[in-house]
Amino acid sequence: MILSSIDLLKFFILTFLLFACFGKPHRYQNRCLKHDNHHNTEEMLAALDYIHAQCPDITHIYDLPLRSTENRPLRVIIISDQPEIHEPLEPEFKYVANMHGNEVVGRELLLRLAEYLCQEYQNRNEQIQNLVDNTRIHLMPSMNPDGWEIAAQYAWNTTQDLAFPDISTMMKEYGAKDYLMGRANARDIDLNRNFPNLDKFIYAYNHHSHHKNNHLDMETFRLLLKDHDCMKKPYQIETIAVAFWIMQSPFVLSANLHNGDLVANYPYDTSENSRKQYSGSPDDYLFRQLAEAYSYAHKQMSSPGQRCDGEHFKDGITNGAAWYPVCGGMQDFNYLASNCFELTFELGCDKFPPGKELKSLWDDNQHSLINYMMKTHTGIKGLIQNEEGESISNAGIKIYYIKDGEMNYIDHDVKSNLDGDYYRLLPDGSYAIEVNSFGYKKAIQYVTVQNQIDQVNAQRVDFVLKQATMEEINRQEVMKKYWK
């Protein structure tokens, strides 16, 4: 085969690009991932491919089965020692960013975080290796890629008088200033008001002491069948894709990254009467600790006097409903529809800052992002099996906090996964752990939890359940009907 000079030129350009993109990260680290400017959809997807090429053994890229309204992928990168599978006893974590399309800092931070984890793993950074080897980390840089494009395009259309030579320069030097344009999805629906509003069921159940406190699957389906959310807007494809992802994945801890303020926000986001008032969940103490794990490790979030244009938040944290009530938010949906505990982090006043500020935003958030992920390993975890050594999935795990000899029920159970593994985030203290599964005798163990800084393995509490007698099974049948 004879190569023309054009072919040869193409060959050299391609070879150069391949070498530049896939070479050793410490030599070429800035070539393929911009640290001083924003990534549009195409560049974001290319950046994820680039990171995967750098660290193929510890990364895996996948898309949710549904795409955005304008047909863009809802893409996720996993970082873990065995990225393609769920390993029993290894907890799963997620960060979701850019749900509001014009709140873009989280999107850029997650790209940078993926690159950082990849590089530091290769550099044998002990903390990062421990984290990656013992956690399955999912990063979704953009839940609303259509909104991002709308925000960027609007900014470009309205800054003609500033005479930027191109849109990329505009984003680097100026960002986007409109407070709302691009916030919603392409059908103009706010995705963080568009999740099934499970809070209303919880408040009703609490009223009747029903203790139906988690995995509200039937309630979720009932609401989705209604075809409109609590703001009377139709459920959106992005919401449905993410809601099923949450319900079907064994996530333990998560955060939803926003902009517009500087604070770590924790459940609940709604109050019983929809008024602005403190509305703690049964895990309120734990949630405040998780919020502080982010705000204290952040360079500015917990500083006294720190504020955007609203109120000052003590310690850089707030209960959602005490700040302003939101119905149909993703945070409470995680807590009430799955095993996953989610918080919402507001990463700064400026929603779409100039790209040149991204370096200092990374410096502000880097330790927080890592410190928060480490919290996936607080509390307890274990395997639930029968006497034959078979895994028991869907077992209910109830937690009682023990104080002064009294057992106090924490009204929020978790369930075991398909492999029989379970995870329960818990602050330090003494607890009784009760496991229930149909056809088996109830089992209880007593533990004292003492979390260590930077631990990458929660305390192990395994259960072997004994077969129930016929009489006990009949009683369980009666109880099952009663709880229905």
Binding mask 332-351 for Zn ion (x = CB under 5 A): --------------------
- Residue 324 C-beta: closest distance to Zn ion, Å: 12
Phi, psi of 401 (to 5 degrees): -85, 130
Which of 90, 92, 103, 342 is in the footprint of Zn ion by CB under 5 A?
A: 103
Contacts for 390 with CB less than 8 Å, ≥ 6 apart: 420
- Residue 396 C-beta: closest distance to Zn ion, Å: 34
441 burial class (0-12, 13-18, 19+ CB within 10 angstroms)? middle
- Residue pair 151/195 in contact (Cβ under 8 Å)? The answer is no
**Binding residues among 183-212 for Zn ion as defined by CB under 5 A:** none
Confirm whether 471 is a catalytic residue. Answer: no
* Interface size with Zn ion, residues (CB under 5 A): 3
Q: Which is nearer to Zn ion, 94 or 424 (CB)?
A: 94
Q: Which stretch binds Zn ion (CB under 5 A): 92-100, 245-253, 435-443, 447-455?
A: 92-100
- Residue 173 C-beta: closest distance to Zn ion, Å: 24
Residue 258 makes contact with Zn ion by CB under 5 A: yes
- Residue 34 C-beta: closest distance to Zn ion, Å: 23
Query: Nearest to Zn ion by Cβ — which residue?
Result: 258
- Residue 357 C-beta: closest distance to Zn ion, Å: 18
Beta bridge partners of 397: 414, 435
Q: Which is nearer to Zn ion, 34 or 258 (CB)?
A: 258
Q: Where are the beta strands (DSSP E) in 31-160?
A: 59-63, 75-79, 92-97, 136-140
Q: CB neighbours (10 Å) of residue 414?
A: 22
Q: Which helix (H) or strand (E) holds 345?
A: strand 341-348
Q: Which stretch binds Zn ion (CB under 5 A): 125-133, 254-262, 278-286, 425-433?
A: 254-262
Q: What are the structure tokens assigned to 377, written together?
A: 């390993």
- Residue 185 C-beta: closest distance to Zn ion, Å: 13
- Residue 112 C-beta: closest distance to Zn ion, Å: 20
Q: Which is nearer to Zn ion, 177 or 442 (CB)?
A: 177
Which CB contacts under 8 angstroms, 24+ apart, belong to 439-447? 439/467, 439/468, 439/473, 439/476, 440/386, 440/392, 440/395, 440/465, 440/466, 440/467, 440/468, 441/465, 441/466, 441/467, 441/468, 441/472, 446/402, 447/380
Q: Which is nearer to Zn ion, 100 or 233 (CB)?
A: 100
List the catalytic residue out of 42, 346, 357, 390.
Answer: 346
Q: Which is nearer to Zn ion, 192 or 437 (CB)?
A: 192
Q: Which is nearer to Zn ion, 258 or 375 (CB)?
A: 258
Give the Å distances, CA to CA, from 443 to 215, 376, 436, 449, 461: 21, 25, 7, 19, 12
Nearest alpha-carbon partner for 188 in 264, 101, 282: 101
Q: What are the structure tokens assigned to 140, written together?
A: 């979704």
Q: Which is nearer to Zn ion, 96 or 132 (CB)?
A: 96
Q: Which stretch binds Zn ion (CB under 5 A): 63-71, 103-111, 118-126, 272-280?
A: 103-111
Q: Which stretch binds Zn ion (CB under 5 A): 150-158, 229-237, 252-260, 376-384?
A: 252-260
> How many angstroms separate the CA atoms of 379 and 89, rounded?
13
> How many angstroms separate the CA atoms of 165 and 142, rounded?
27
Residue 100 makes contact with Zn ion by CB under 5 A: yes
- Residue pair 329/195 in contact (Cβ under 8 Å)? The answer is yes
Q: Which stretch binds Zn ion (CB under 5 A): 97-105, 201-209, 317-325, 327-335?
A: 97-105
Catalytic residues: 346
The residues binding Zn ion (CB under 5 A) are 100, 103, 258
